[in-house]
Structure 1
Amino acid sequence: MINVSISSTFILHPYAETIKRLFITAILSSPSFGERNSLNLFFTDFNKFECENHPLSFLINPIWLPKNMSGKVSAFIVGATGQVGKAISKELAKTDSVDRVTLFTRRQIDPSQGDTENDYSKFTVKVVDYEKLEENHTKDFEGFDVGYTAIGLIGTQSIEEKTKVDHDYLLEAAKLAKAGGCNNLNVVTGGSSKDSPFFYMRNKWVIEQDVSALGYERVTFYRPGLLLGGNRENLPLAYKLSSPIVNFLDRGRFLSLDVPALAKVMVHNSLQPAKAAVEFLENREIHKQGIKLANTNNNNK
């Protein structure tokens, strides 16, 4: 159920909840939103992100008060220097509805990270100590609408180190962002299985469970296969050698995924109305959505 701000008249009225639901139902089922079943919507919990971003949201005041009256969105990226993080940054740079982006990194970087095609003036780089996030950086995670996490190790690091980076750092950042007001989190995981013999897949399953338990109003997990076409120099040799082979053999992208497509789908999907409080997008579905978005962009040029 969404939290709404209503006037004293509505608070004192004995039928305040019914009146509130009827009014918001009428707005969300309006033609500007799209075809909806008003009866079903009335008996369904409203989606906060959906209400805030509805084109008629201003009519819901004082029943519903958008957090950002300008309609613009603030975002952060954890794992901004990896191949997926760089691609997400590039997509956000091209997205007009996002007017503030913070990159959380371990070291100072140029926010463009070599991209000379887009404007990164709305970007800020915040250097953080992931070992002391709660101690030193609680306020740095306040005030965001949307978050993206693409943090993780690829290589021969120990299980302890991979757990610390992939799980612990991510979870701590997600906790701080939630406490700071963010309620739309997008997380790159990958192959996930509770009973897998492989640590990587078991760890991803634990990540999904623990992040889901934080109580975000909306969290989406993206499960790509082998990532291809990313901009990252320090990939393991085995990864570099296998990528061209997989790229050739898996043309339909059943087991692999192009990094730019993943980033495009993540940004686009995060700014659309949610289908559920917790969503999982598998490799093949991300690929198909990426093709549709690419075709739409080409047709609009």
Structure 2
Amino acid sequence: MKAILVGASGAIGRCLLQDLLNDSNYKEVLILVRRKSDIEHPKLKQLVIDFNRLSDYSADLKGDAVFCCLGTTKSQTPDQKEYLKIDYQYPLDIAWMAYTNGAQSYHLVSAMGADKNSSFFYNRTKGEVESELKTVPFKSIHIYRPSLLDGKRTQKRFGESVLNSLMQLINPLLMGSWKKYRSIKVESVAKVMLAQSLNDQKGIFIHPSDQIQMLSDVL
């Protein structure tokens, strides 16, 4: 199989890239990047692109499974138009191009609270991209909704670091229906994304954070 990965420089994306490169089911991993990565591997292929001109690279987006780990924050991208490009438009444009070229499955990292009817811009954007993605006729679509991510970031987020430290104390107290609010390791999300891409399933699947953790625990 051949994988297409966008967002390989993010916390989940970096873990997923290593998992894909180490998995014998994938013979090639194509990553879409703004700047060439220092990572070298015989299975790795890098496509340096201008995301504002995605259609110029449509012929190159050929693979069996597409993994989208794109995402930004309000502090990183305060302009809502730019934010929408990254969290909404790019994932959908890539989806349609890859589908047209024969891709069978699409794996999107969304977020807990995604809701296209939400009054909160972040949650609404995540909900809208999920809704639109479901119209692309892939054989299977997997949407992952992790809670607070626990993992190394390329850019330090002080508030998130403090919250993650606090969550280490709170996590064991969150039981039953509250389990989905536990923080989750980025490695767990990446591991489940890889595993789900190897399942011969048809349909649209939503994976809440507690389910992702449960699946990760048995892998």
TM-score by length of 1: 0.67
Q: Is the CA contact 2:10–2:154 (under 8 Å) kept in the aligned structure 1?
A: no
Partner of 1:111: 39
Contact conserved, 1:154 with 1:236, CA < 8 A, in 2? no
SS in 1 for 2:215: helix
Give the aligned residue type for 1:194. Answer: K
Separation in 2, partners of 1:163, 1:174: 16
Q: Which residue of 2 aligns with 1:95?
A: 23
Q: CA deviation at 1:163?
A: 0.9
Contact 1:148 1:185 in 2 (8 A): yes
Which whole-Å deviations, capped at 9, do the CAs of 1:131-184 have from their partners, x for residues lacking one? 0001x2011102x01110000102422222211111011111111111111021
1:181 alignment partner, one of 95, 102, 125 = 102
Matching residue's letter, 1:146: A
Distance 1:247 1:140, change over 3 A: farther
Q: Counterparts of 1:231-270 in structure 2 under 5 Å?
A: 231-251=152-172, 254-255=180-181, 256-270=183-197
**1:98 partner SS:** coil
The residue number in structure 2 matching 1:214 is: 136
Amino acid at match of 2:67: Y
The 1:235/1:178 distance shift into structure 2, 3 A limit, reads farther
Name which of structure 1's ranges 280-289 and 187-196 shifts more when overlaid on structure 2: 187-196
How far, CA to CA, are the matches of 2:84 and 2:157 in structure 1?
A: 18
Residue 220 (structure 1) shift: 0.6
Structure 2 counterpart of 1:161, one-letter code: E
1:69 corresponds in structure 2 to none
Residue in 2 that maps onto 1:164 = 85
Hey, what does 2:111 align to over in structure 1? 190
Max radius of gyration: which structure? Answer: 1
Identity of aligned residues (%): 25
Letter in 1 for 2:143: F
Number of matched pairs: 210
Residue equivalent to 1:291: 217
Determine the C-alpha separation between the residues in 2 that align with 1:176 and 1:198: 29
Query: 3-state DSSP class of the match of 1:221?
Result: strand
TM-score by length of 2: 0.91
Q: Match of 1:138, SS?
A: helix
Q: What CA deviation, in whole Å up to 9, does each residue of 1:250-281 have, x standing for no partner?
A: 1465322110000000001110121x411100
Query: 8 Å contact 2:117–2:127 — kept in the other structure?
Result: no
Query: Which of the pair has the greater relative contact order for Cα pairs under 8 Å at 6+ separation?
Result: 2
| Aligned-residue CA RMSD (Å) | 1.5
Whole-Å Cα distance in 1 between the matches of residues 11 and 169 of structure 2? 20
Kept in 2: contact 1:219–1:278 (CA 8 A) = yes
Gaps of 5+ in 1: 1-72, 113-119, 294-301
What is the match of residue 56 of structure 1? Answer: none
What is the Cα deviation at residue 195 of structure 1? 2.8
> Residue 117 of structure 2 aligns to which amino acid in structure 1?
D
Q: Within 1, Cα distance between the matches of 2:96 and 2:196?
A: 22
| Counterpart residue identity of residue 165, structure 1 | I
CA contact (8 A) 2:110 2:146 kept: yes
Q: Which amino acid is 1:81 matched to?
A: S
Give, in angstroms, the shift of residue 227 of structure 1: 0.5
Equivalent position of 1:13 in the other structure: none
**Which residue type is aligned with residue 91 of structure 1?**
D
